[in-house]
Chain A
Amino acid sequence: MRPETADELSLVKYLLGDLPEAAQARVEDRALADADFRSALDAAEADLIDAYVRDELSAAERRAFEQRFLGSPQRRRKIAFARNLAQVAAETTAAERDFSTPLSAWQTLVGVLRGWSPALQLAATLAALLCIVGVSSIIFQNTQLRSRVAVLESQGRDFQAQKENLQRRLGDEQARAGDLAAQLQRRQTASGAQASFVASLVLLPGLTRAETRREQLVLNSSAQIAHIEIPLEARDDYPRFRAELRTLSGEEVLILGNLLKRAAPAGYLVSFDVPATVLSTGQYELTLKGLINQSVQEIGYYYFSVQKQ
């Protein structure tokens, strides 16, 4: 392969791994920093691949090319494409050449015929006429066949275009539905964010620590306070209550004493607020105790998790 310029020569040498390490690094640094230079490298690569598929490389170049190019799946795809492109380009250009060169062939033929005897010229003319009639008939049939194929191809293309159009419209509708869903989500999030200065949680007693289903308290970035409510049963008739909040590993987070029950539509409940700052993402255990005179009685254990966003 003979590159056209010195720059191209050095790019081809780079692509074949034929430059010293420092020079290779210089080419790479420039190609990564300069999009035009990278395009020039890509163009040199395309020409090199074409030269390979046309068998224009020297033995040494071919060996270096195969070492550098055949290992990479992307480059193998480029080579396969280059083969196809070379074939199609050759077919197309050959067809154009066939149309552009008959005049010189005709002139040559006339020159030869002029040297023949009149009888031979007559015989040759008759033979030529027969050939022309035969060839014309073949060309006519061929043209008819081609036009039928062209109609079928055109119909096939129309179907394909219709299919693509429908797919594109389906894609558009799906994207629109996605947008609407995203808008709704954003609005919900926005309205949730406005109202989420206080995050609420209602706790029901858990059976054991191993119980897998737990209430979850989600604290977004605007939440300042976690409001916790614990419904009481009729037997939990104490003048005061105490809530002890711990992490599941037993680390004490907060103790609130002297809590009072208050009436709610479905009975009584104890409620209190916890600053969001004392809660971090994780699992918690809340113990509610009843205080009467000097004695303390455990009412229940409640388990929940906190998710900070």
Chain B
Amino acid sequence: MADAARQKWSLTQEALDGLLASLAPDRDIAAERYLEMRKNLVRLFEWRGSTTPEEDADEAINRCARKIAAGVEIRDPATYSIGVARMVLLEKNRERARAARPLEEVPEPQVLPDEPAREMERGVECLRRCLAELTPDNRHLILTYYYGEKGRKIKNRKGLTELFGLPPGTLRMRALRLRERLQTCAENCLQQNDAMAL
């Protein structure tokens, strides 16, 4: 019953205004904090393996806004929303447990379907193009940092810290940022190719 009522409630303009006012008196600062809060919630749900991190984040925000609209004073909505998010996760886990079925009825575990070879080749081609845009140092760094298995990888990374004269933590951050940049570049490239094919 309570669950049904919770699901029916949707964010009204008034409730959103209340939530923003509780984040900051200045509307622009409040909007920035709102976006930051939502980003953190999406991260949290993603870390916990949610299949719908964006929707779950919105559900947590709606619940905070409803509390504020009901007159509950929340001093730090961003921290409060994390607690609400964990409640949402608990509820989802309980629902999943309620829907538990005998082993023979359970579907096969989820496995990422193999990408069609052509699709993968397109992705690889875009990645090569994006790698070509990097400086030689950065290209060498990312290809070496993420190459190899277990021991080989550790050895590669040690070699890179010596080559670039960077502490391991800094090298790790630099490699991660490059990786994120490359992923964005490769995805944009694929989208552009798709758009051109249409």
Contact = CB atoms under 8 A, between A and B. Distances in A.
Report whether chain A binds chain B: yes
B124 A93 contact: no
A122 interface: no
A77 B48 contact: no
A30 to B, nearest CB: 12
B123 interface: yes
A81 interface: yes
B127 interface: yes
Contacts of B124: 84, 87-88
Given A54-B149, A84-B123, A84-B127, A79 B82 contact: no
A32 B44 contact: yes
Contact of A76 (B43, B86, B112, B147): B112
B112 A70 contact: yes
Nearest to A15: B47
Contacts of B183: 77-78, 81
A67 B173 contact: no
A197 interface: no
B144 interface: yes
Chain B residues touching A, range: 35 or more
A63 B53 contact: no
Interface range, A side: 35 or more
A85 B146 contact: yes
B19 interface: no
B120 interface: yes
Nearest to A27: B47
Interface string B109-138: 111100100001001100110010000000
A76 B183 CA distance: 12
Contact of A66 (B109, B142, B143): B109
B20 interface: no
B143 A67 contact: no
A109 B164 CA distance: 37
A75 interface: yes
A80 B146 contact: no
Contact of A72 (B44, B49, B115, B127): B49
Nearest to A54: B149
Given A14-B47, A74-B46, A84 B186 contact: yes
A93 B144 contact: yes
B110 to A, nearest CB: 5
B94 interface: no
B46 A72 contact: yes
Contacts of A172: none
B111 A93 contact: no
Contacts of B24: none
A80 B115 contact: yes
B176 A72 contact: no
Interface string A175-204: 000000000000000000000000000000
Nearest to B184: A81
Interface stretch (A42-50, A241-249, A279-287, A289-297): A42-50
A92 interface: yes
B44 A77 contact: no
Contacts of B142: 85
A74 B173 CA distance: 20
A71 B51 CA distance: 4
A300 interface: no
A74 B112 contact: no
Interface of A: 1-2, 4, 14-15, 17, 24-25, 28-29, 31-32, 38-43, 46, 50, 54, 56, 63, 66-72, 74-81, 83-90, 92-93
12 contacts: A39-B176, A54-B149, A66-B111, A72-B46, A77-B187, A78-B183, A86-B147, A88-B127, A88-B128, A88-B131, A89-B143, A92-B147
